[in-house]
Homo-oligomer: A and B are copies of this chain.
């Protein structure tokens, strides 16, 4: 067993990492729900003030800072009639001291336009860097990389493959 000796420190470390994993996952989920309910304020509260967010070259230069991010979300999110951001395959690499983490999250994002265009779908990944601020985890950096898409006409950062 990984803590066969029952040392308290080992139990604490294991628990600390599980709790961090849970908390980071909750932030990733809250992001999706905030986007899908068109709640820019709720989304921005999940990022550090000096965050960098890069949705891809087709959507402009990377966003620097949560104030600018808020404006972009407030104007961009209502452009869809509906969206649904389904995340999975969340891989979390915690730093040894559990105060930061890098994560990769799979995303299947469905988008409905207000006009007659067909629904657009992304098969993508969020590559994130998280930091812990007191008892909260915040997204310090997010890059969207796209494996494939249907009915989007936007240039994305690709997923890097070996092939």
Give me the interface of A with B, judged by CB distance under 8 Å. Answer: 1-3, 6, 8, 11-12, 14-16, 18-19, 21-22, 26, 29-30, 32-33, 36-39, 77-78, 82-91, 98, 104, 106, 108, 110, 112, 119, 123-124, 135, 147-148, 150, 159-163
Q: Which residues of B contact A39 (CB under 8 A)?
A: 162
Q: How many copies does the complex hold?
A: 3
Q: Pick from B32, B33, B90, B135: contact of A2, CB below 8 A.
A: B135
Known: A32-B89, A82-B123, A85-B89. 8 other contacts (CB 8 A): A1-B98, A2-B16, A11-B11, A18-B19, A32-B106, A78-B163, A84-B148, A86-B108
